[in-house]
Structure 1
């Protein structure tokens, strides 16, 4: 008889977990409170036009190639994917811009033209170090189950390679080490920005996170229909293997029998039995009791001061003029120290860096488009959506600050701007108990990456997946968390079958008392 697994949440981690377990013969039910699958990979209508409101950068496509291949399909059969030749376009003022390319030699030439021969050599040394760090951690940490530092990680790396443990530079800040490669503060700022990919400050994250630059340098891909199309494709292949999806259904609590997760109760009062439960949500939801007070002991809570960044996100359908936009564009603040100091004290920066994803453009030269186009515009913000009310006046202040940054770099957006603004209040409502933190725990300090919640929890039969768990934030990392959760579930269920071969008398177990809360 197939083991029954309930997955709470149809984000990328939950979807990847569902495909893997369904393809291996388990009986899978995915329960999602929203009407769509994909979690943060969703679309919101603005001016009658659907606009991507979640992640926009797709890297490490091999992670998804493997998921689809395990299900007997290929990624290219299910979604239209093509490589981006320009990874991102960067500007500091109206005098020009700097592109990074899929071809590292072109990036090196562009950096040399922008900032001189020393900067080009610095980029070469930076790439070498980032690639080494990624190579050390790829299979020992990123694609493996959660591990502690230093001795357990050292055993995985190999005791004969003790130099590699120091080479990942966990005790030096990213900002400091970037100064060893780049004298030009603009380049230090550019490559320091990769820390924000996991919701963190370049001044507080370890230099280990240089590996993110290597991940992006391996290739950025464009998906027709955005990440929501990828999510729907994952749902489709999971359903081909028998997985059932119940969208628009909120889980009221995880239920337990004899100290082990035995299923979930949903808002209608229905109890869905399971041999294992996977929670694809921020672990803070579990710790706060949003899935029941008995489930709260499964994971450690994250203190508000340890949260990752949140964001102000403008979803716009508008005309633009001036700056030659590519698909991914970054417009930098003139004072990066002050920007993160503002966030640290709980304020949206008054002079922010701004990311603009021009969703209707390829990653090419930036030819002008006629008429309106779709934009996702992001400014980093504190994760205080549970304690601070972003009023209309505050939203207007932030919108003016965002526009000032763009106009300083010669990008003009239609005014008034047809848009919808998502604030930390909205992200808190979407992911309760997080304050609107988009990436879970911030990667601040040498130990932070080792403190993320792993697949197993303190309660037997209850597991975690998603971008707020190990190995970290981002679409491919969330999918890797789903792989790790699926592996742990399969391993534990196989162990139960080996060592508990007798039937339990008395028929169906009684569920525990309802514990309240919704998610």
Structure 2
């Protein structure tokens, strides 16, 4: 029975937990996975469960990539993603290894999903409950309730096509794209998220509430294709969850799954310098220390732009030339401030979005003008609302992030980081966190410079390729390389895109395009070799 035939895809029924991984033989094909972000971890699990020998490599000292963990002064900080919206994608990985997610990770619901606070002090509690959402909308414009209902119906329609039917389709051939053009036209995919939302609701604050979601995956609501309005229904369908112990508990759980698979190896502080190509086919990788690791297939969870631009020799790239890579539109970056306080701010929700006075013009500054504005909108994460273990007793852990331009802006973050952080601190103190400066006990920052240096993200973009229509589905960098045979991609820059569901789905796509181990003739019977 082929892998695809025995893979159980989830609907509303429970996942079949009887699946057992295939143990690879000593001469089974060898897969090298570059990058231990969520996409790389998921790829290693899926390949290992199928019977590949797998070596997972990451230049950092721990798994997780952007989802790694910082521990500082008794506080635990998730470095990156914190909003879990499709738990079944994690459940499926555990199932493939013959295990159950709930045995390793405790997921708890977050309610409200988000509190959106506007510049004038009013707020909107966004949740998955219909009555609550309609009550919140009535506070601003009763006549928008009916429009919201129709918008949610549209979101469900888009979700059924964009996520359930197309989220795991590889779009390697143009014919795959042409098949869905009629559906995309019917779904009004030519519209932007903000445009589609505005078709159904009128109040400017309600429009903001229903259109901010693209920012969670690196997109501008005023230019991101309306396909991304599916997030509204996705959240409604499966809820918003938090992993006790933080997202790091999911990362460590996935890493442990890999350790439990026969023939798999994880190596950290292992910096891949080059993907080796022999006769047009990926044949392995070279590390920065000169070590060569042979492979029958290579999966890159590294930034797709960086991979093509800096890890594959130009002579091996006819499609993804330097010029084409550089000319793609990349997402904005982020300024992230992690901090802890010696008091608790009990009235702050788990997820809070603080909308600045400007919306469209601020996003225009960030995405189009590439200018660092004096004002901002912020996302404030308070995990200790749900999980006190993330901070010492009586303390609170936070991170706050601000969307900022990527490094094409020319901002020198070595100079700008501390003044910007102080501006964010002042704003929080004036709005939702009185006397913040007097209660700070730990602090660290992540800027676009670190996204470039630590994560090797081209231009320091936080979410890789921007999700505009012209860079979606077939137009996005493919999961299977057009230039190099047996080279595959997982992660935010390939299809279907960024965010936890998107990134995990990129690994899911590999199940349909990476050959079964038995159908692949191993080129390298030995796992690794070293050269001077």
Q: In the alignment, is the contact (CA less than 8 A) between 1:286 and 1:295 conserved in 2? A: no
Distance 1:177 1:268 in 2: 51
The answer to whether residue 402 in structure 2 is matched with residue 379 in structure 1 is: yes
**Relative to structure 2, which stretch is displaced further, 79-88 or 315-324?**
315-324
- Deviation track 1:392-422 (CA, whole Å, cap 9, x = no partner) reads 3x22442344245435544336216442121
Determine the structure 1 residue equivalent to 2:347.
Answer: 324
1:9 aligns with one of 35, 57, 62: 35
The answer to whether residue 166 in structure 2 is matched with residue 141 in structure 1 is: yes
**Relative to structure 2, which stretch is displaced further, 338-347 or 467-476?**
338-347
- Deviation track 1:35-72 (CA, whole Å, cap 9, x = no partner) reads 11111101223444231111111111111111111110
Q: TM-score, normalised by structure 2?
A: 0.85
Determine the structure 1 residue equivalent to 2:267.
Answer: 246
Determine the structure 1 residue equivalent to 2:202.
Answer: 183
Distance 1:510 1:375 in 2: 42
1:222 aligns with one of 242, 250, 255: 242
Q: In the alignment, is the contact (CA less than 8 A) between 2:467 and 2:497 conserved in 1? A: no
**Relative to structure 2, which stretch is displaced further, 279-288 or 295-304?**
295-304
Distance 2:426 2:346 in 1: 14
Q: In the alignment, is the contact (CA less than 8 A) between 2:32 and 2:298 conserved in 1? A: yes
Q: For 1:76-475, what aligned pairs fall within 5 Å after superposition?
A: 76-93=102-119, 95-112=121-138, 114-146=139-171, 152-153=176-177, 155=179, 162=182, 164-218=183-237, 219-242=239-262, 243-290=264-311, 292-293=313-314, 299=320, 301-303=324-326, 306-319=329-342, 324-343=347-366, 344-362=368-386, 371-384=394-407, 387-392=410-415, 394-403=416-425, 405-407=427-429, 409-412=431-434, 414-415=436-437, 417=440, 418-432=442-456, 434-457=458-481, 458-475=483-500
Structure 2: tracts of 5 or more residues without a match: 1-26
Distance 1:272 1:370 in 2: 47
CA, structure 1 residues 306+87, in 2 after alignment: closer, same or farther (shift >3 Å)?
same
Distance 1:508 1:82 in 2: 44
- Deviation track 1:462-516 (CA, whole Å, cap 9, x = no partner) reads 111112211100112111111222442234x55444xx9xx99xx98999999xx
- Deviation track 1:167-211 (CA, whole Å, cap 9, x = no partner) reads 321222222222122211111112221111221211112222211
Structure 1: tracts of 5 or more residues without a match: 515-519
Distance 1:220 1:510 in 2: 42
Q: CA deviation at 1:424?
A: 0.5
Distance 2:257 2:528 in 1: 34
Please give the secondary structure, in 2, of the residue aligned with 1:18.
helix
Number of equivalenced pairs: 495
CA, structure 1 residues 273+482, in 2 after alignment: closer, same or farther (shift >3 Å)?
same
Q: CA deviation at 1:83?
A: 1.9
1:66 aligns with one of 92, 113, 119: 92
Q: TM-score, normalised by structure 1?
A: 0.87
Q: In the alignment, is the contact (CA less than 8 A) between 1:79 and 1:230 conserved in 2? A: yes
Determine the structure 2 residue equivalent to 1:29.
Answer: 55
Distance 1:430 1:168 in 2: 39
**Relative to structure 2, which stretch is displaced further, 224-233 or 373-382?**
224-233
Determine the structure 2 residue equivalent to 1:517.
Answer: none
Superposition CA RMSD, Å: 3.0
Distance 1:36 1:295 in 2: 31
Q: In the alignment, is the contact (CA less than 8 A) between 1:385 and 1:428 conserved in 2? A: no
Distance 1:354 1:147 in 2: 37
Distance 2:527 2:105 in 1: 43
